[in-house]
Structure formats: structure tokens, C-alpha cells
Amino acid sequence: MNQGQLITTSPHAVDIRQLSAILFRRRFLILGVSGLVMCVAIFLATIAKPKYQSSMQLLVSSNLYEGLQSRNIQGNTDSQFTDPNFQVVDYTAQLRLMLSTKLIQKAVDLLRPEYPDIQVEDILGKKGKQAKPGSLVVAQLEGGTGVNKVPSQVFEITFKDEDPIKAEKVLQALKKVYQDYNIEQQKQRLNKGLSFVNDRLPKIKQEVIKSENNLEQFRQKHNLLDPEAQGKIILDSLADTQKQLQSTRAQLQDVRARYNNLQRKMAASPQNALISSRLSQSTRYQTLLNEIQKTELALAQERLRYTDTSPAIAKLTQQRSNQVSLLRQEIGRSLGDKAPKTLENGKSLLTQGQMGEVDLKLLEELIQVQTATLGLVANEQSLAKSEQQLRSELAKYPTLIAEYNRLLPEVETNRKTLEQLLQAQQSLGMQIAQGGFDWQVLEEPQPGIYIGSGRTLRLAGGAVIGPILGIAIALIWEMSKDAIYSEQELQNLTNLRLLGRVPKLSLPLRKKRLSALFFHEKGSLTPRYRDKQLSVYTRLPFHESLDMIYQNILLSNPYAFKSLMVTSARSAEGKTTIAQGLAVSAARMHQRVLLIDANMREPHLHNILELSNDWGLSLLLVDETNTPPDYIQPIHPAIDVLTAGPTPEDTVKLLSSRRMKELIQIFEQTYDLVLIDAPAILGTVDARILATYCHQIVLVGKIGLVTRNELIQATEILGELNVVGIIANEANTAKA
């Protein structure tokens, strides 16, 4: 058998296709529940009392709604301080208000002098675990016709009671309570709205003044109107300053490079170049310098003719000395304190102020570059200082902006709130002039009219609810059980061949017929008597089913077999009865049969056949002196029985012994068929041990008793053995 083909279905699932079978099987439960419910319905209908109903109509309207609606359409504005109930009539709230315990209690107080025992629960009903529907019903009527029906402003109030006068008086009391509440709520709601606005206005005004003062102090303290705008200006100035500073530094670098280049070209220090430039521009210095040159020229000419002691040379020498002295004085006058000490010697004194035109141009350019350098350095320092100041000032603005952003919304919010309060004050003033809700009585309460006692409804409800409840309980009962109720499901779950069906037979009839079949007196086992006894079997209701089952067992195996074990998943599934029937079927086919009761824990075969169980299989397994025929009891010329014998202490040890295997082999040589009535598979290992000794195994499943889980487990245990098929016992219950 393929274990992978086992079908596992949910034990709590009810197949809709089996619904009719389930309902028929549980018909007595359904009829019982239906009858019980119907009895309760009849009892309730019997004790039902007549009911009377009184009614009145109330118009709930609001003049304020019309004014606010038109104003909202025009301006499309509303105030968060206006009571929303003033804008649109909330009919659901009005309905709940009419049914509120507070108003009903006032009506009860008015009715108590005439009806001392009346309570709020008598009108509204009870809530909680002992809930009871109330006799008072408030319903909103619908206006319009056809599909255009809309809720109207009219409410119908009805009250039911066993006393028609009391029903009318309850509504009269409610009418007075509703009218008094109508007058009171108009004043309270509108006055409450105005008091709220009037209480809020002074506080909001103080908050507006305080927030404006805080904002003004902030602006005066920091000399700012808008820190964000001012901060943006400073940020732009900082960016512009940084840009200028970067440009100035680039220009300064360029000028310094030109300055160094001019210095290399002049091969002189800036100070000497400046001195030479000033002396070259001094006319007196140049005149004295020319005179000295002329004197030196004349002195050189005279020295060609005279010696140094000549008066002419001495005169020219003295003249040159005087001219040099005047030149030194001129240098001191022109240069002042900047005159270097290197000009003290005569050579430097004469050559310092002698510069060519190229040198003068270079010197002039050098002076210009030097002047430009000084200007750029000063500009750089100024821009750097400005950048530092702007950065320092900009660092203060995040705090200022945060404080400003806190103060400004506070002012704006308070101003907006004040404006809304003023608008709400004006709006509520108009509402007070218009008035609030108006509850008007359209129809006065009428004396209660008879509406019936509800007996017909209770009887009809019982007739409908009873079967429904019965079917529901039956289905729940079916889902809670895991039993199998059809041979088809039996076959599908095990994936075994269905050998046949055995109809249900009452126990007294089964015991009587089997006892008559098997019981005989000593010496009566003649062929004639044997045929007579076997003919009794044909009168049993299930003999044809057992014959069919035995034939199916023979056809299921092409090879001859000598031993057959009959077992079931659990006890009480009828395997012992079926084993007896199979023994009779085999005997009628001229086979000699040995029926062994291998259920040594709970033997039943000896009780059914009224045989002695003082000796049997348990003693035969431990007795090696006596032969097996000493323990076998013949009940028919073709059928012998080996009872279970006394219950041993360890059945597993006996069944798994070598002696048991040898006995089976001896019996197979002696008899045509050894039929073993084995114990149930689940719970013990006895059946598993016996299954290993037998050629064929038959599984019995009792319809309505064996569960799906038990049958699946048993099939899995016998999966590796030669299971011929399964027999559906008491299959008639599946068709019921």
C-alpha cells in the first residue's frame, strides 16, 4: 500500500455534499431541539399580555440654522469658537437627548405620585447582562416621496404598555419635560456661548498688548525691524567684502612682483634710488655739479702745464674744495635727515645725483609701484577688518532671528484670535436675537390603542428558530466529532480496497443466531448434522455480505494463503463477530477453519460462543508438553476454536516468542484456514506482532465509531504489511 496516498482531512470540516446525510443522521437531535424551542415559544405565547401603544409627534427646528446657513453660503467662513450645534441641527444628538436618562428621570418624577413603582428602566429598558428592550421608541420620520426621501424634522415618540391610560400619561409627562427643556436649553446654550466669548476677550486683548510690547522692546534693543532682512543684507555685504578682499590680494601680489622686478633692473636699493631721484631733480645741485666738473677739467688741463705747487693749481684746488662744500650743503638741504652717511666721501657725493633718462624712468615707475603697493596694503587691511566685523555681527543674528520668529507669530496669532473672537461675539449676538432650537408638539399624546399581544409572532419565531437552531446544533455536533459515517470516506482515508459492507444487527439477535449455529452436543458432528447447522447460517441477515467479503479476500490474492488476521483500529468495532462470520463462510466452502482468539488482554470470543476459557492460547504458548489439540475446542465439524485463555502477565513476551511462530506454522499445516481474531492496533503492539506471522490482514472499520485520526494511524502502522482491504461494519448507519 502506498502511504503517500493517504488522505488526511480536517476533523472539523463538514462536506456540503453530505449535508443531507448529516441532517438525516441527526434528525432526532434536530427534532428534539425544534420541539424544545417550540415548547418555549408556546409557553411565552401563553403568558403574553395585551399591549397598548400611545404616540405623539414632535417638531425639532432651529431658526438659527437658517441664518447661519445663509451666512456660510455668502461668506464661506466660520469660527472655531462657535458651537457647531448652532450651525447645523444634529438630529442624532437630538434623538439621543430625548432618550437620555436625565430627561426620562424628570418624567418619572412627574409620574411617581400616580405610579409609585415606576422606574427609568420601565421606560428605557435595562442594560447590561439582564438587558431588556425599552417600551419608549423615538424615530425620525422621513420626508419626500419615492427615492428622494430624506430625514425630516419631525420625530414620532411611541410608548407601549399593558395599561392604555398609563401609556398616554407617560407621553404627557415626556411632553412637559421636553417643552421645559426646550425653553431652558435655548437660554443656557446661547448664554454659554456669549459668556465664553466675553471671558476670552479681555485675556486675548492683554495677550495681544503683551506680545506687541515684547516685539517692540526687541526692535528697540537691537535697533532692528526685521532681523532676517537685515541678516540677509549683512550676509550680502560679507560676500561682497570677501570678493573685494580676494581681488585686492591678487592685485597686491601682482604689484609686489613688479616692484621686485624693477629693483633688479635698477640694481639699487629703494632708498638710494629715491635719493638719486631727488638730487637729479634739484637744479642747484645739478648746477654745482656742473661747476665742479668744469673746475676739475680746468685743473686737469693746468696740471699738464704746471706742478701741484703752482699757484694756478692751488687756486683751482681751493675752488673745487669750496664747490664740493657747497654741494654737500645742497645735499643736506635737499635730503634733510634722510641723507645717508655714504655721501660724506667725494666720489659718492659727485656720482649720487647723476642718473640717465632710462634710470629716471625706471625710478619713476618704481616709485609709482611702491605707492600702489602701500595703497593696496592699506586697502587689504581695511577689507580684512571689515570682514571680521561683519562675521562677528552676523554670528549674533541666528539668536536674534530665533527670538524674532518666536515673538512675531505670537503677535499674529493673538491678533487673529482677537479678530475671530470679535466676529464670534457679533455672530452669537445675532443668534441670540434669532433664538435657538424649538421643540414643538405637532400631535398630542393619544390614549393607547391595542396592538396585539405578540403571540403569533412568538409562535412563528419558534417555528422558524427551532429548526434553524436544531440544524446549527447538529452541524456543530458533527464538526466536533471525528467519526466516519460512510464506507466511501472509509476507503478514501485508507486508500485500501473496500472488501464489503456488513449491515447493523442487534446484539441479542446476533448472539442468538450465532449460538444456535455453533453450539452442538458431543457426538453430533456428523456430515448430516454439519449441513443442517450450516443451513442455519443462510438465515442470518448478513450472511450474503460475509460471503461476498470472503470471496473478495480470496480474489484479492492470486496466491493461496493459509492464515488471515482480522483486526481494527480500536476496540468494539465488531472484528470478533466478523471473524466468526468469515469462519462460517470458509466452512461453507468446505474448508477446515481454526478460529484463534489472540486478544489475551480482553478476550470476548469464549463469551459469545459460551465456551470455557480456562485453557487456551496463553497456556499453550508456555506448555510444551501437551499438544495443541488438547487446547482446541471444536464447535462445528469444520470449525475449531482456540480461546485466549487466562490473561498472562506479559502478553508481548508470549506473542513475540518462537513458540507462537511455530504454532502458527503447525496450524497452517493442519487447517485450510487459520483465522486470528487480533486485538486493536492502537494502544498495544500485540496486533503488530501477530501481523508479522499471518499471510493476509483484514482491517475492520465500524461506521460511526472509528475516527479519522485512529484509522489513519492504524493504516500507517500496517503500511508495510500485506493488508488485503477494509470491511465497513454496520454500514447501514451511513445510509441513514
Domain residue spans of the chain: 1-48+453-481, 51-198+435-451, 260-393, 497-735
The answer on pLDDT for 1 being more than 50 is no
Q: Has domain 51-198+435-451 been given CATH number 1.10.10?
A: no
What is the pTM (predicted TM-score) of this model? 0.46
Higher pLDDT, 620 or 560: 620
β-strand 498-502 against 723-729: which pairing, if any? Answer: parallel
Q: Which residues are bridge partners to 654 per DSSP?
A: none
DSSP label at residue 672:
S
CB atoms closer than 10 angstroms to residue 27: 13
Q: What is the pLDDT of residue 351?
A: 55
Q: What is the pLDDT of residue 466?
A: 80
Is 108 in a helix, a strand, or coil? helix
Of 278-292, 363-377, 494-508, the least confident: 278-292
Q: What is the pLDDT of residue 646?
A: 92
119 to 19, 34, 126, 165: CA distances (angstroms): 50, 37, 10, 17
Q: What is the pLDDT of residue 545?
A: 85
Is 674 in a helix, a strand, or coil? strand
Return the closest-CA partner of residue 350 out of 326, 318, 366.
Answer: 326
Tell me the pLDDT band of 61, cut-offs 50, 70 and 90.
confident
Report the alpha-carbon angle 509-511-514, nearest 5. Answer: 105
Q: Has domain 497-735 been given CATH number 3.40.50.300?
A: yes
Return the closest-CA partner of residue 18 out of 472, 488, 492.
Answer: 488
C-alpha cell read off for 26: 441527526
C-alpha cell read off for 199: 471671558
Q: What is the pLDDT of residue 339?
A: 57
Task: For residue 567, give every residue at least 6 positions away whose Cβ sits within 8 Å of its Cβ, in sequence order, or none.
Answer: 575, 678, 679, 680, 681, 687, 690, 691, 697, 698, 699, 700
Alpha-carbon span 402 to 307, nearest angstrom = 100
pLDDT tens figures, 380-413: 888 888 878 877 777 777 877 777 777 778 777 8
pLDDT tens figures, 140-159: 887 766 666 777 778 888 88
Q: What is the pLDDT of residue 733?
A: 43
Q: What is the pLDDT of residue 10?
A: 46
Task: For residue 262, give every residue at least 6 positions away whose Cβ sits within 8 Å of its Cβ, in sequence order, or none.
Answer: 362, 365, 366, 369
pLDDT tens figures, 631-669: 999 988 899 999 999 999 899 999 999 999 999 999 999
Same fold across 51-198+435-451 and 497-735: no
Q: What is the pLDDT of residue 677?
A: 94
Q: What is the pLDDT of residue 73?
A: 47
Q: What is the sign of the dihedral through the CA atoms of 136, 140, 141 and 146?
A: negative
